[in-house]
């Protein structure tokens, strides 16, 4: 039964591939040399994940270790569907499964599509070691672990919990990777959507420490004049 389910998903992915989408992916994702891109749209992947949400973890693991990009993405989205409905120890087991396989989460779209919906719900459960988990990811030499830490806080931001994001901005503002700078700015912008005065005050206090690209992303929704003031100062 599980073999049929796995192979059926793989067949559907190939049937739903679009050459034009694949061409766009090649431009924006900069895949590794051994990464195979099919060209399946993300909304289609989300629909398939809902249809295959009961897939056993053994088969999800096969998907996550595939060199087909969309198979990894589908596996992550299936995992997110399972996290959404799991509770307690079952949810924690799924999170541990994810954290043990972040080497499979190896491009920005995979991080951005999974961190806040796999790790995020567990963070909202209120484990005692929220910052310990985020700090461990943020200290990793693996770029995508660090981006996972930042993007996972989107789930907290949406519930009005901003301190973990501010903490990671302090922790990672000297990171060497522009993809981290952009992620920090994005999460600050999300805080600003909910409490603009708080975000603006944070920027004003820490402007000298923040990368210019973080400031540019964080201030995208501010008035043109206020945004220009921050960007010029940085």
| pLDDT value of residue 1 | 42
Q: Look up tokens 């402007």; give the residue.
A: 207
The whole domain housing 62 covers 1-85
Supply φ then ψ for residue 36, to 5 degrees.
-100, 125
Q: Look up tokens 């998903």; give the residue.
A: 9
Q: What angle do CA 12, 114, 120 make, to 5 degrees?
A: 140
Question: Would you say residue 150 lies in a domain?
Answer: no
| pLDDT value of residue 4 | 56
Q: CA-to-CA distance for 93 and 111, rounded, in angstroms?
A: 19
Question: Would you say residue 193 lies in a domain?
Answer: no
Question: Would you say residue 26 lies in a domain?
Answer: yes
- Dump pLDDT digits (tens) for 175-195: 999 999 999 999 999 999 999
Rounded alpha-carbon distances, angstroms, from residue 25 to 32, 205, 226: 12, 38, 35
Q: Tell me if 162 sits within 8 A of 198, measured CB to CB.
A: yes
Find the helix or strand (DSSP H, E) in which 64 lies. helix 57-64
- Dump pLDDT digits (tens) for 219-234: 999 999 999 999 988 8
Question: Would you say residue 40 lies in a domain?
Answer: yes
Question: Band of the pLDDT at 126, cuts 50, 70, 90?
Answer: confident
| pLDDT value of residue 128 | 63
Question: Would you say residue 117 lies in a domain?
Answer: no
> What pTM was estimated for this model as a whole?
0.94
Question: Would you say residue 161 lies in a domain?
Answer: no
Question: Would you say residue 68 lies in a domain?
Answer: yes
Q: In total, how many domains does the chain have?
A: 1
pLDDT (mean) for 68-75: 98
**pLDDT > 50? residue 113:** yes
Question: Would you say residue 22 lies in a domain?
Answer: yes
- Dump pLDDT digits (tens) for 146-155: 999 999 999 9
Q: Tell me if 92 sits within 8 A of 129, measured CB to CB.
A: no
- On average, the pLDDT of the chain sits at 94
Q: CA-to-CA distance for 188 and 32, rounded, in angstroms?
A: 30
| pLDDT value of residue 97 | 98
Q: Tell me if 49 sits within 8 A of 72, measured CB to CB.
A: no
- Dump pLDDT digits (tens) for 34-60: 899 999 999 999 999 999 999 999 999
């Amino acid at each position: 039964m599980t073999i049929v389910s796995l192979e059926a998903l793989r067949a559907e992915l190939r049937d739903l591939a679009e050459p034009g989408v694949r061409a766009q992916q090649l431009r924006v994702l900069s895949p590794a040399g051994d990464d195979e891109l099919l060209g399946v749209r993300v909304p289609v992947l989300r629909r398939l994940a809902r249809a295959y949400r009961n897939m056993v973890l053994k088969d999800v693991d096969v998907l996550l270790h595939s060199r087909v990009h969309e198979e990894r993405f589908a596996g992550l989205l299936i995992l997110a569907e399972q996290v959404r409905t799991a509770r307690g120890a079952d949810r924690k087991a799924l999170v541990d499964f994810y954290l043990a396989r972040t080497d499979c989460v190896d491009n920005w779209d995979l991080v951005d599509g999974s961190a806040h919906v796999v790790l995020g719900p567990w963070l909202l459960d209120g484990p005692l070691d929220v910052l310990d988990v985020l700090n461990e990811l943020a200290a990793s030499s693996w770029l995508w672990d660090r981006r996972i830490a930042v993007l996972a806080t989107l789930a907290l931001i949406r519930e009005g919990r901003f301190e973990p994001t501010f903490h990671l901005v302090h922790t990672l503002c000297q990171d060497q990777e522009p993809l981290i700078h952009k992620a920090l700015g994005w999460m600050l912008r999300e805080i600003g959507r909910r409490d603009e005065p708080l975000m603006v005050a944070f920027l004003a206090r820490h402007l000298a420490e923040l990368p210019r690209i973080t400031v540019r992303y964080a201030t995208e929704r501010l008035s043109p004049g206020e945004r220009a003031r921050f960007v010029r100062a940085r």
